[in-house]
Amino acid sequence: MSNTTLLIVSGALAAAGLASLGADRAVHSRERSMDRWVAVTAEVLSVAIDRRTGPGGRPGFAPVVDYRFEAGGTQYRGERLGLERDWSESQDEVRRWVEPLLEGVPSQPGQAGGLFGAVFAALPVGKTVTVYYDPADPARSTVSRRDPAATSLFKWLGLAALLLGMAGIIAGAVRLLSAMAARPRATWVGDPTRGEQPARPQGRSALAAQLALDMAFDAMVRFARGGPDPRTLLQERFPSLSPGQIDETLGKAKVLESICYGTAARVRSEMVTADAAVAEMAASYPGFSDQTYRAALAWGLQQCR
């Protein structure tokens, strides 16, 4: 997998993970709204499961409970088992809801109360359970604060996707940094027909200045052969340079082009060696790469034929 693909896929996974965690927070919002409800011991007065007609006229079952508790010196009664635990098509499901209220108490099958006849009824006298009430309104109470519709699926999927995404992003960043560290910093090669090699790595600002000077000289040579205007090329390749900086760069390139003829003549007459001539140009007109000094000497020798 390419590094770009890895970063894209990892970013998508991380985004999906964050979205899943947000969904988990949303489905548990009702539970969190009851976090500050006060726990208190309540006495169970009665428990029953009745046949009831549910939404759309469907037959089903409903818990019928009655418990009593005290809050702030006042007696309150409640019947709520939990969030959305008021009706089900499954008798077994309703039986599981009321099990905490009937623990240790024998049930009594019969027809004691209930709108359509109780499936079973029990009077667990003295049975106590923990219930939760709203301190702002103690009449609102429930046995369980857990939302049966709020599963932890979103949370675990979100965490897994987020971790995988972050791991992929880190791996992609490491790859990118490694590639940048290994990449040669000098990107201007000049005329490939001259077999030049990239310059040695330098600081970013010094390299940018050298690249501009090298390109300016190369553009001067190409212009002499009928090529495009050097100023236009520099403006296109180095848009951050001001007009004054472009003038200065072209001026230095023009000077190097001017002196290369005399230097080439000295080399041709064997007054100096080619390496010594390159060293002299580098010392007298610094800023260009070694390749450009050699290209200037070659250009001068070509014109001195």
Q: Name which residue leads in pLDDT, 205 or 291.
A: 291
CA dihedral 90, 44, 140, 49 (to 10 degrees): 20
39: confidence class by pLDDT, cuts 50, 70, 90: very high
CA neighbor of 33 nearest in space, from 156, 138, 146: 146
Decide if 86 contacts 149 (C-beta within 8 A): no
Is the domain of 74 the same as that of 97?
A: yes
Asked whether residue 287 is assigned to any structural domain, the reply reads: yes
| 198 shares a domain with 168 | no
Say if 187 falls within a structural domain: no
> In this structure, are 20 and 86 located in the same domain?
no
Which helix (DSSP H) or strand (DSSP E) does residue 255 occupy?
helix 243-268
Same domain? For 86 and 228 the reply is no
Mean pLDDT of 95-112: 65
Instruction: Indicate whether 205 and 170 sit together in one domain.
Output: no
With a CB cutoff of 8 Å and minimum separation 6, the contacts of 271 are: none
Average per-residue pLDDT for the chain: 78
Domain of residue 244, residue span:
192-303
Segment 199-222, tens digit of pLDDT: 444 566 778 888 888 998 998 888
CA atoms of 226 and 168, how far apart (whole Å): 52
What's the pLDDT at 54? 79
| In a shared domain, residues 255 and 169 | no
Cβ atoms of 42 and 131 within 8 Å: the answer is yes
The answer to whether residues 35 and 127 belong to one domain is yes
115 & 172 share domain = no
Same structural domain for residues 204 and 162? no
Q: Per-residue pLDDT averaged across 51-63, rounded? A: 85
The whole-number pLDDT of residue 107 equals 54
- In a domain, residue 160? The reply is yes
Number of domains in the chain: 3
Last residue of one domain, picked from the residues 149, 171, 202: 149
Q: Specify the range with the lowest mean pLDDT, choosing from 23-27, 121-125, 154-158, 246-250.
A: 121-125
Q: What is the pLDDT of residues 242-270, one digit of tens each?
A: 889 889 999 999 999 888 888 888 888 88
- Which tens digit of pLDDT belongs to each residue from 148-194? 554 555 666 777 877 888 888 888 777 777 766 654 443 333 443 44
> Is pLDDT of 83 > 50?
yes
Regarding whether 17 and 162 lie in a shared domain, the answer is: yes
Q: Are residues 67 and 216 in the same domain?
A: no
Please check whether residues 201 and 170 belong to one and the same domain: no
